[in-house]
Structure 1
Amino acid sequence: MSSVASVALTQAVIEIEQHVATDGWNQRPRMFALTPTADLLATQPRMAAALGITDEAAQAGGIPSLTSIEQEGLALNQPLDEMLAKMVWPPAVTGCALVIESQMLPPSAEEQIPEGLEGAALERWVGQHPERHDVRMAVGVLRDGTRQAAIRLRSKDSDMEVLSGPDLVPNLAEALLGTFEE
């Protein structure tokens, strides 16, 4: 994985999270395909133009090196892991990003989880816990294994408070990388 790919993915994931944040909280999961902007300009000039990406902007350095394209029609009537297991990307897609909202507990509260609690019952328990944090997670990966995440806490709902890093949501990153396996 190159540092150029890592920087491009970091920029894309943060921009995606900020884009989704403009629609507020309590959103459904949202998936984005990531493609090199130069490839999009060359192979899909109409789509690029519709997204406001032009050769002039590229020459002026005014476009990102990765372009995100939101995917409509996700099968949200099934668990996320099942949806991701069925997902396949065409070769032109070099990466993807998923934005989901969830609830997290601090490690001290995780020790309080009643033994054997799973699934919907666990979600209800976490949702009622006084120490829970509502979070929005944007996780992106590239085919080469590069990964990045951006996390926004509802209690600190500001672009300046978004945390980012490659290893913040490792299980989701692995699941997204699995969508590129042949």
Structure 2
Amino acid sequence: MLGMPNVSPSGPPMAASPLTVAVLEIDAYAAGLGWDQPARLFALVDTARLRAHEPGLAAQLGLDDAASPTAALTPVEQEELPAGTALDEFLATIAWPDAVVGCAMTVERMMLPPSAEASVPDGLTDAQLTEWVGKHPDRQEVRMTVAVLRDGARDSAVRLREKDSPTEVLTGAGLVPGLAEALAATFES
């Protein structure tokens, strides 16, 4: 398990929700790893609870100094996703312990602008569609970071590869609804 570094002083606005802070922290972490990375899954834990109940882990993650400012949520990276497994199939196998208040995932995908979506040929398999999008001149590579909490709160960040800058990250609760639904389903019993 890897802890995430705290958001830098030039990070999210002071009024940002704890979930938005966590999403932007994960986005910054993923950006530091560069592009062409595998999908990554994170547990979101309450930082104060982590310090109180797991002081050793909190120290390992650099959260042991109660005087130091930290976000309300601490993202903890999980083991690497199994190669060759579809995300929806993998997420269907996840069950979180009660100490996990939310989860997040970062994935890279190719996207087309709405104007190009009308030209998608009918009847393509998933593999054919992926190949077709990959060859389209208007395709854009994006990194999507999506987080959900047990209580239903959601947030996400989208970063275009061609505008790979922290000031160009788009955030919002409804940007990647399909992935948010899949992550929320990991909390259903």
Deviation at 1:73, TM superposition (A): 3.4
Q: Quote the Cα distance in structure 2 between the aligned partners of 1:158 and 1:120.
A: 30
Structure 1 length-normalised TM: 0.93
8 A contact 2:150–2:187 mirrored in 1: yes
Equivalent of 2:22 in 12, 16, 19: 12
Q: Quote the Cα distance in structure 2 between the aligned partners of 1:116 and 1:130.
A: 21
Structure 1 residue ranges, 4+ long, deviating more than 6 angstroms after superposition:
none
Equivalent of 2:76 in 56, 69, 76: 69
Q: Quote the Cα distance in structure 1 between the aligned partners of 2:81 and 2:115.
A: 35
Q: Quote the Cα distance in structure 2 between the aligned partners of 1:164 and 1:56.
A: 29
Equivalent of 1:110 in 74, 92, 117: 117
SS state of the match for residue 155, structure 2? strand
SS state of the match for residue 22, structure 1? helix
Residue 99 (1) aligns with residue 109 (2): no
Residue 25 (1) aligns with residue 32 (2): no
Deviation at 1:117, TM superposition (A): 1.2
One-letter amino acid of the structure 2 residue matched with residue 175 of structure 1: A
Q: Which residue of 1 aligns with 2:166?
A: 159
SS state of the match for residue 40, structure 1? helix
Residue 86 (1) aligns with residue 93 (2): yes
One-letter amino acid of the structure 1 residue matched with residue 59 of structure 2: A
Q: Quote the Cα distance in structure 1 between the aligned partners of 2:148 and 2:61.
A: 22
Deviations 1:17-75 (A, max 9, x none): 10111010000000000000011001110110111112433xx5x11000010001322
Q: Which residue of 2 aligns with 1:143?
A: 150
1 or 2 for the larger relative contact order (CA 8 Å, sep ≥6)?
A: 1
8 A contact 2:108–2:143 mirrored in 1: yes
8 A contact 1:76–1:83 mirrored in 2: no
8 A contact 1:89–1:179 mirrored in 2: yes
Structure 2 length-normalised TM: 0.90
Gaps of 5+ in 1: 1-5
Q: Which residue of 1 aligns with 2:59?
A: 49
